A and B are shown apart, each in its own frame.
Chain A
Amino acid sequence: MIRKIYILLFVGAMALTLGCEEEFLDTVPTDSISEESALSSPDNMELVLNGLHRMMYGQNQLTGGSSSRSGESHFIPMFDAVGGNIIHSSPGNGWMTSDLKWQSHVNSSATTGFNLWFQRYHFVATSSAMIDKIATSDFTVTPQLNNILGQSHAYRAWAYYRLITTFSKGYLIGNPSTDPGVPLQLDQGTPYTSGPRGTVQQVYDQMYIDIDKAIAYLKEASPAANKSHISLNAAYGIKARIALSMGDWQAAAENAVLARDGYALLDEDGWLSGFNSYDLSEVIWGGKVIDTETNYFQSYFYFIAFSFNGSQNRSNPKLISKELYDRLPDTDYRTKGWLPLAPNTNPAASNDQGGSFESDPNYSDKASFDAAKAEIIEKYGATKGHNTHPYMNVKFQLKNPGSIDPDDVIYMRASEMVLIEAEAKAMMDDITEAQDALAILGEKRDSAFDKSIFTTKELLMDEIKWQRRVELWGEGFSYHDNVRWDEGLDQSNSGAAEVLYQDGFMQPKPSINDKWIFKIPQQEIDSNPNMTEADQN
């Protein structure tokens, strides 16, 4: 009897614990939230936008991507390596040498091209998800909602701008109505078949639709929380860039003016402060990087700044082209942004003039050679292990020189808008207005600037091209500028070493040279049923 009672008690107790609750198998993670919840309210969509803002500059988080391709922190200096604007003085530790040698972007398996494609399409997908969700929901229209829609459309336009200008033939040098574009992929989800390449024109049409919507929404929106968000001004700036790239000069000029409204050009102190903060007056759009979100050795300043304390920087100071620099008049304070007489201290410098006063033609004794180096180290806060090189840049300086601490990334500033305006006016043969626009920047930088000497479209364009390459040095514009202007590469008088630059030393102009089109990533060709090898550039 006792035994039966035991058994009953035992089995009964078991039965209680045994009957698992319904929800036993429902589990959720703690470091992620569901897509449904992410898109469930305007407040949550603001979180999604914040994620995009971070992805603009942060180490790559996407599954299957490479963390080192840290958004614009990587792509800005990469475009200037391929475009020949940032000149490397030695192979350094190897970063971006395949870009400057023109080995990477012509290779469909290259890590950089793939990650650029993947990240920008991720922006397209995420912004489309928000746009579509809002279209099918009945959220109350508020300034907040307009802000979300405005930024989503702006991001989509900007991402396509990055894609189409990089992976397709330049609008102004090709036949946009027939040249293959990039897939217009505005729908989400299964069966993940993406789309065909379509035409360049189709993508430009979509970019205009999106950026016009963005501007309309942002006019009725709550203001941008900070400069990492896309403000109305930044949206005008994006429109100005798109318009410039397709030769819609009127729109380019108008939007460039609207974009820089309220963003005063830097003065000398500001210009020489190192371009390390998005708080600078003329920054319209940029990423703020804080200690706890540092990109370590995958940051913008790692790829560009002299005094960052990485082996890349110590062994490979980045140079401006001699040709560009030597055209700077003494009255222009930007002469202080580069050091033409810095001693060539690196025995492995690619121009074979490094190591000592004996190899460096600028010096004839050890004492002055050593003193010159010591002075630079002292002034710009580098370490003894840092090498210096003629024409090295100090345009970019760390807030905390000699460290690996993070600095901000600037995506858009007023000077670029001034130059867009000037270029657009010049292309419209409006000499007077082009001169005026150019003078806004020129007079700010050069105390002896005389706009009146640029009397023709050709003279204006020559000056504008030079100004862009100097003013915007290292800010990621040179590659696409060359495509727009149909100019090839010739590093013969730049100071770049042919032994290092190889294919990147000399390239015919883009209209006759399809190497000015990045290869479509092999991953896309392999997995997109609407594409075959025949669709490769």
Chain B
Amino acid sequence: MSGSDAAQVASATIFNRLGRNPFNVPNDQIVDVNGNINPNATVIAKDLDWYDALERTGTRESHSINVSGGGENFSTFFSASNLKEKGYVIESDYQRTTSRLSGTYDPTPWLTMGGNVNIAVEESHGSPSRGSSIANVFSFAKNMGSIYSPYLLDPITGQYINDDDGNRRWDRGESISDLGIQSRPTSVGRNALEEAILNNEETKRNNFGFRYNADLTITKGLKFGVIYGKDFQDQINHSYENAEVGDGAPTARFEDARYRRTVENFTQLLSYNKSFGLHSFDVTLGHESFDRHFSSNRIFKGTQTVAGIYEGSNFSVILDADGSSTDYKLEGYFARLNYDFDHRYYLSASVRRDGSSVFTNNKWGTFYSVGASWRISQEEFMKDVSWVDNLKLRGSYGEVGNDQLGNYYISQPLYAIYPNAGAPGIFWDSTGNADLLWETSESFDVALEFGLFDNRLTGSFEFYKKISSDLLYNVPIPGSEGQIQAPDNVGDLYNQGFELGLNGRIVDTDNFSWDLGIQASTLKNEITALPDPFIDGSKRWDVGRSRFEFFIYDYAGVDPANGDALYNMYEEVDGKVGVPIMNPDGTQATTNVYQDAGKGYVGASSVPDVIGSISNGLKYKNIGLNFLFTYQLGGDILDYGYANMMHEGAYGVSLHPDALNTWKNPGDVTDVPRMQNGSSNLSPSLTSRWLTDASFLSLRNVTFSYNLNDDVVNKIGIDKLRLFLSGENLFIVNERKGLDPQYNLSGTPSGDDYNPNRVISVGLNVAF
């Protein structure tokens, strides 16, 4: 076909490709041969707003009560709370009731006993986020082209088509010949919103636990104590997928998944403290054990008998049924020494030996810590410096172990159960690594804390360095090994930075005060040891690099001649990756085939330069106004959510307004390549094109409150009464609308999950 024929056909058949025409012009006259919308076209489609159908104004109600009391030899405490939330997404709600009762008793002078019991009962409904599933309501609404309605619309009038009961019908994107409706090119046969309504998702969770303790005084200063606790979590999840639309069709299916988790802690402590003269010290020896048991089962059945019963017996075909348990255990021995001289010099040291069931050959690890602080303000020579209230220099070095790599049996090579047509079978599930050992986090910090001018200015300045040695990591291994990851203690890296905290009372008068707080911190990450560099997603781990540095295809803009996306080329030379390939004229070579370009370090990292917050507290008489900003400067995000909306022209998929800048004619200078359905070199996701500045300023919280005067509240028999109005997540300023820059530290948000929601609340605090 010649160019003009192709344009003719393309404009004449655009309706066949897209399946819907929201305008009042015939299907073959929607656009002219140049792709411009018919000037006579106006939108007659009644409703094209998926978010309007998906979202609603949520509500949150919370109540709580605390009571404490006691006598000479005992004290008790009781609290209860209730939280009820209606989510901002249809069909979602959450309710939680908690209660706690505790008591401490001293039956004899040498014995103290006590304990507490707590219960939390949770219940939630609504479609889970569902990750990359089509049934994910967020991605469904986001990816749907803006010419499609959530509801069936009459192709001629654009009005809703109602069912016999007068309700709107959802558009599943399939053709309905009787109504003259043709299928949608994207997500045919699905409507995640309708599915969320017709499905039934319910989770009930009970948390309960108890904690008992006893302290015996053996002789003066020598104590023996035990603490025993056990926590239970029971969950029942019922998930019903309807018979009409989605993965449950055509017969509906149902999952009932339950688990019980118990966590038992038992600690024994022997401690001794003694003071003589200006010296005082205490020593503690202890032993503790931790035992986590998780037991779950699940049935999954299809073919429902009657509608509306969400229990296993209502479904007649077993699709899957299984159950299993996991155990995770820890044991530790420790010794701790604290010493202080004259409340000026403090020293502490500890050592602990921990054993973990996660490991096979190296269950035990030993970890030390030491710390010292000097309260300079307590020194004689500071007595006369009246404007210094507190000045303290502290430093510490401590080690803690980490045994977590996402699986309690990670060190064991395992074959998982996998039957073949009912005959028992197993398959090789994991490589294991019997030599795996504890990862050690060594933290070093030194800080200066101060309180000046009657503590009107307080703050701290701290340097920290956290070294992770023998880092636990699932290292990517070549697929030709039969698995693609193997756990290992891969190497060492550190994170270091400064933290600054300042709190000042700027104004302090009888009726008016203003408190200002500023927090700022920095982070630098560097890998210091790694035997074998490896690529993991958008990053490449190598010595001397940060694990947060992007290693991706390097977008070089658009070729004005033909609208191709260009990529800077890199190669591997003598084991060194990301070496630019140069043209004879000294510029970097480019290609329009991204996979021929090779990946390179593109000079971007997901780590911010500075992150922090600014808080303000204003008070005038009984009125208070608090607001909190959080901010980030620097750092980059690889915005997959944006990339998905800047595709090369998949039929029916939504586009970002930036797509208007797309290359159209030879000579166009733009940074958005041409659009061509099916051309995979135009907008691949792993390229520097989607790097987005992650800097932001967000108004996280504003609270306006009013305290009733004491004389007023006392008259009605209460101690204190406070009314407040608060708002959360009120606004955010950042590079791109809709982006949540804090999604993860790797800087790779997919744009299909809950965003922090805006909450406005009114409340009342009463104290008796």
Residues of A near any B CB (own CB < 8 A): 3, 7, 10-11, 14, 17-18, 20, 24-38, 44, 47-55, 58, 61-65, 90-94, 101, 103, 107-109, 114, 117-118, 121-126, 129, 182-183, 185, 189-195, 225-226, 228, 287-294, 296-297, 309-312, 314-315, 345-348, 352, 355-356, 383, 385, 387, 402-404, 499, 502-503, 519, 521-524, 526-529, 531-534, 536
Q: Is B414 close to A, CB under 8 A?
A: yes
Q: Are A315 and B482 in contact (CB under 8 A)?
A: no
The complex places the Cα of A29 from the Cα of B13 at a distance, in Å, of: 58
Q: Are A521 and B249 in contact (CB under 8 A)?
A: no
Asked whether A63 and B324 contact (CB < 8 A) given A292-B319, A352-B13, A352-B16, the answer is: no
Q: Are B420 and A51 in contact (CB under 8 A)?
A: yes
Contacts of B756 in A (CB 8 A): none
- Closest approach, in angstroms, between the C-beta of A318 and any C-beta of chain B? 15
CB closest chain-B residue, reference A404: B250
- Closest approach, in angstroms, between the C-beta of A313 and any C-beta of chain B? 9
Contacts of A385 in B (CB 8 A): 174
Asked whether A355 and B678 contact (CB < 8 A) given A35-B413, A48-B426, A58-B418, the answer is: no
Q: Are B482 and A290 in contact (CB under 8 A)?
A: no
Asked whether A290 and B422 contact (CB < 8 A) given A25-B356, A63-B485, A315-B183, the answer is: yes
Q: Is B428 close to A, CB under 8 A?
A: yes
CB closest chain-A residue, reference B266: A17
Q: Are B427 and A48 in contact (CB under 8 A)?
A: yes
Contacts of B59 in A (CB 8 A): none
Q: Are A31 and B322 in contact (CB under 8 A)?
A: yes
CB closest chain-A residue, reference B320: A292
Which of B17, B414, B420, B484 neighbours the largest number of chain A CB atoms within 10 Å of its CB?
A: B420
Q: List 21 A-B contacts (CB under 8 A).
A: A18-B268, A24-B289, A27-B328, A27-B329, A28-B412, A32-B416, A32-B429, A36-B413, A38-B428, A50-B423, A54-B425, A94-B188, A117-B480, A122-B428, A225-B423, A293-B421, A297-B247, A348-B182, A385-B174, A522-B595, A527-B477
Q: Is B233 close to A, CB under 8 A?
A: no
Q: Is B481 close to A, CB under 8 A?
A: yes
- Closest approach, in angstroms, between the C-beta of B525 and any C-beta of chain A? 21
Contacts of B632 in A (CB 8 A): none
The complex places the Cα of A385 from the Cα of B177 at a distance, in Å, of: 10
Q: Are B427 and A51 in contact (CB under 8 A)?
A: yes
Q: Is B224 close to A, CB under 8 A?
A: yes
For window 592-624 of B, CB contacts with A under 8 Å fall at 595, 598
Q: Are B415 and A121 in contact (CB under 8 A)?
A: no
- Closest approach, in angstroms, between the C-beta of A125 and any C-beta of chain B? 3
Q: Are A61 and B429 in contact (CB under 8 A)?
A: yes
Q: Are A38 and B415 in contact (CB under 8 A)?
A: yes
Q: Is B357 close to A, CB under 8 A?
A: yes
Asked whether A29 and B482 contact (CB < 8 A) given A48-B427, A296-B247, the answer is: no
Residues of B near any A CB (own CB < 8 A): 13, 16-17, 19, 108, 110, 174-175, 177, 181-190, 214, 216, 218, 224, 226, 247, 249-251, 266, 268, 287, 289, 317-322, 324-331, 355-357, 363, 408-409, 412-433, 475-486, 532, 534-535, 571-572, 595, 598, 651, 677-678, 680, 684, 686
CB closest chain-B residue, reference A182: B480
Contacts of A527 in B (CB 8 A): 476-479, 484, 534-535
Contacts of B110 in A (CB 8 A): 3
Q: Are A33 and B414 in contact (CB under 8 A)?
A: yes
Q: Are A63 and B429 in contact (CB under 8 A)?
A: yes
The complex places the Cα of A388 from the Cα of B329 at a distance, in Å, of: 59
Asked whether A348 and B480 contact (CB < 8 A) given A17-B266, A31-B324, the answer is: no
Q: Are A50 and B419 in contact (CB under 8 A)?
A: yes
Top 10 closest A-B pairs, CB basis? A311-B189, A125-B482, A50-B425, A347-B182, A51-B427, A35-B413, A31-B324, A528-B478, A526-B535, A192-B477
Contacts of A347 in B (CB 8 A): 16, 19, 175, 177, 181-183
Q: Are A51 and B357 in contact (CB under 8 A)?
A: no
Q: Are A118 and B174 in contact (CB under 8 A)?
A: no
Contacts of B430 in A (CB 8 A): 63
Asked whether A27 and B427 contact (CB < 8 A) given A63-B484, A289-B421, the answer is: no
The complex places the Cα of A47 from the Cα of B330 at a distance, in Å, of: 33
Contacts of A402 in B (CB 8 A): 250
Asked whether A185 and B331 contact (CB < 8 A) given A30-B324, A51-B425, A348-B16, the answer is: no
Q: Are A20 and B289 in contact (CB under 8 A)?
A: yes
Contacts of A531 in B (CB 8 A): 478
Q: Are B424 and A93 in contact (CB under 8 A)?
A: no
Contacts of B363 in A (CB 8 A): 25
* Complex partner residue of B329 from A25, A65, A195, CB under 8 angstroms: A25
* Complex partner residue of A10 from B216, B247, B422, B482, CB under 8 angstroms: B216
The complex places the Cα of A236 from the Cα of B189 at a distance, in Å, of: 44
- Closest approach, in angstroms, between the C-beta of A250 and any C-beta of chain B? 32
* Complex partner residue of B321 from A228, A292, A404, CB under 8 angstroms: A292
Contacts of A532 in B (CB 8 A): 572
Q: Are A29 and B414 in contact (CB under 8 A)?
A: yes
- Closest approach, in angstroms, between the C-beta of B538 and any C-beta of chain A? 12
Contacts of B572 in A (CB 8 A): 532-534
The complex places the Cα of A126 from the Cα of B427 at a distance, in Å, of: 8
* Complex partner residue of B325 from A30, A62, A191, A519, CB under 8 angstroms: A30
The complex places the Cα of A3 from the Cα of B414 at a distance, in Å, of: 53
Contacts of A29 in B (CB 8 A): 324, 326, 408-409, 412, 414
Asked whether A355 and B182 contact (CB < 8 A) given A315-B174, A403-B250, A536-B595, the answer is: yes
Which of B19, B185, B326, B423 neighbours the largest number of chain A CB atoms within 10 Å of its CB?
A: B423
Contacts of B250 in A (CB 8 A): 309, 383, 402-404
Asked whether A107 and B680 contact (CB < 8 A) given A14-B226, A48-B426, A63-B485, the answer is: yes
- Closest approach, in angstroms, between the C-beta of B586 and any C-beta of chain A? 23
Given contacts A29-B412, A103-B680, A503-B678, 8 further A-B contacts (CB under 8 A): A25-B331, A192-B475, A315-B188, A345-B175, A347-B183, A352-B16, A523-B479, A533-B572
Contacts of A311 in B (CB 8 A): 174, 188-190
CB closest chain-A residue, reference B678: A502
- Closest approach, in angstroms, between the C-beta of A213 and any C-beta of chain B? 20
Q: Are B432 and A35 in contact (CB under 8 A)?
A: yes
Contacts of B355 in A (CB 8 A): 25
The complex places the Cα of A52 from the Cα of B479 at a distance, in Å, of: 17
Q: Are A53 and B425 in contact (CB under 8 A)?
A: yes
Contacts of B419 in A (CB 8 A): 50, 54, 293
CB closest chain-A residue, reference B326: A29
Contacts of B329 in A (CB 8 A): 24-25, 27
Q: Are A53 and B420 in contact (CB under 8 A)?
A: yes
Contacts of A58 in B (CB 8 A): 418
